[in-house]
Structure 1
Amino acid sequence: MEGLKAKSPSDAFWTAPRPSQQQRYEKVIRATIDLAREGGYDAVQLRSVAQRSGVAMGTVYTYFQSRDNLVFRSMLAWNARVAEDVAKNAGPDGFKDLEESVTILINRYRVEPGLLDAYIRSTLSTDPIVVEQRRTFDWGWWSEFHPSLASLDPEVAAIAPRLLNDVFYASSVRWAFGQIELSEIVTRVQTVIRLMEQATSQSDV
């Protein structure tokens, strides 16, 4: 991604295409996050984002091209910043600390369900830009800096975040359609982590 040089992994999600756009770009992302926090996906409209951010609607559209792309990218920015903060305070104790970190991250969505609603519903978009970005983004980027993963076998450390992402996403879609409670998402992800730990322990015997 062109633009400002990222100082941390999450900065890439907040970086404007060009340095001269950075201040307005961040205002747009923060306004989108605030609106989603207040009312979920339905609360985020390009006109509302422009009004909240003080950035012209034409400029907002220039940055993101569509409402779904705006919502999706903004939710990734929020998620990435929170995930990085969680990782900074995590311990190096393999699956135990990984479970704790993932639980903290998902519980942030439980406190602010509007953000999860906005994220999930934007990922269901047929917008070609969102579809392409969805193909290339998952929790695998956590493997680059989360301390608990460093103590695991490299193959396990590489696949664990992606597997957890799939379970989290599938469960969140069911939540978005009213099929399960938010608490069930945490339970399912925790169960997968414990199963991976058991499978790894058995393979080492």
Structure 2
Amino acid sequence: MKVNGRTPEAKAFRVERVVKATRELATAGGYEAVQMREVARVAQTALSTLYKYYASKDDLINAAVGSELNSLTEDVLRRPPRQRTAEGRAGEVFVRAYVAMVRDPGFAHAAMSAGNTVLEFDLDRVRHSEEINVKSHWSVTFTQIAAVQAWGPDNRCNPIQARALDMMETLWVASVVSWLNGDMSADEVKRRLRLAAKRLLAVDSAEPNGNSADVS
């Protein structure tokens, strides 16, 4: 997010400071601990100014998730996955992202709560969703990180690759939630992510041009 800095109010507003405060509060108490007033207090920012840039606590948490994804990108550039197969390298990206959640359960709880809230029931919206491909606020970036590690920066994902990566992200989210709820151990999550990557993403080697008999 860019702050133009033209007014004293804008100059006083520091995105990094707000994201840091959001992360600290989430780490300490999960989703419920992130409150707009508390973030403003910790970040030493006027509440009115905070609301000008972030409409809700979910927006704050999503900004923190974006920062985490930037860290993941830096990590895989610094320590590229060394698996021999594309599916192995992509799977390692999902595993590393999960390990980051394990290291900070409070932030994981906030991220999952903000990113996966079920909206009030609306039948028209459900019917409309059958006609469009709705992506989450951060899934594009997440899957792009895995795609680059799997097939290289110049690869343009074909329909099979893109769909398989989306399925991996969905599994990743569900697995983090299961771990947070105490339904699955950390080691089991990693095993499932690696197995899923091996099964889902290996389709690329069989159909390099995405010409599958059934991609509908």
Name the TM-score class by shorter chain. 0.7 to 0.9
Residues 152-180 of structure 1, C-alpha deviation per residue, up to 9 Å, x if partnerless?
89425434432221110122233344433
Q: CA RMSD in A?
A: 3.1
Partner of 1:19: 4
Where does residue 178 of structure 2 map in the other structure? Answer: 174
Deviations 1:89-122, CA, capped at 9 Å, x for gaps: 2147422322333222211111111111010111
2:191 aligned to which of 187, 191, 197: 187
In proportion to residue count, which structure has more helix? Answer: 1
CA distance in 1 between partners of 2:29 and 2:200 (Å): 36
Q: Distance in 2 between matches of 1:203 and 1:67?
A: 43
**Corresponding residue of 1:114:** 106
Q: d(CA) in 1 for partners of 2:29 and 2:112?
A: 14
- Mapped partners of 2:66, 2:177: distance in 1: 20
Matches of 1:197 and 1:67, distance apart in 2: 35
| Whole-angstrom distance in 1 between the partners of 2:81 and 2:176 | 26
With a CA cutoff of 8 Å and minimum separation of 6, indicate the structure with the bigger relative contact order: 2
Counterpart CA distance in 2 for 1:127 and 1:176 is: 21
Structure 1, unaligned stretches of length 5 or more? Answer: 1-14
Q: Which residue of 2 aligns with 1:41?
A: 31
Q: Runs in 1 of length 4+ with deviation above 6 angstroms?
A: none
Of the three residues 58, 68, 84, the one matched with 1:68 is 58
State the match for 1:80 in structure 2: 69
- Larger Rg over CA atoms: 2
* TM-score calculated relative to the size of structure 2: 0.70
Q: What is the TM-score with the length of structure 1 in the denominator?
A: 0.73
Report if the CA contact (8 A) 2:76-2:93 is conserved: yes
CA contact (8 A) 1:31 1:49 kept: yes
CA 1:184–1:82 in 2, change beyond 3 Å: closer, same or farther? farther
How far 1:26 moved relative to its partner? 1.8
Measured after TM superposition, the shift of residue 80 of structure 1 is: 1.3
- 1:148 partner amino acid: A
Residues 25 and 200 (structure 1 numbering): CA distance in 2 closer, same or farther, change over 3 Å?
closer
Could you say what secondary structure the match of 1:135 adopts?
A: coil
Describe the SS at the equivalent of 1:180: coil
Structure 2: stretches of 5+ with no match in the other structure: 121-133, 209-216
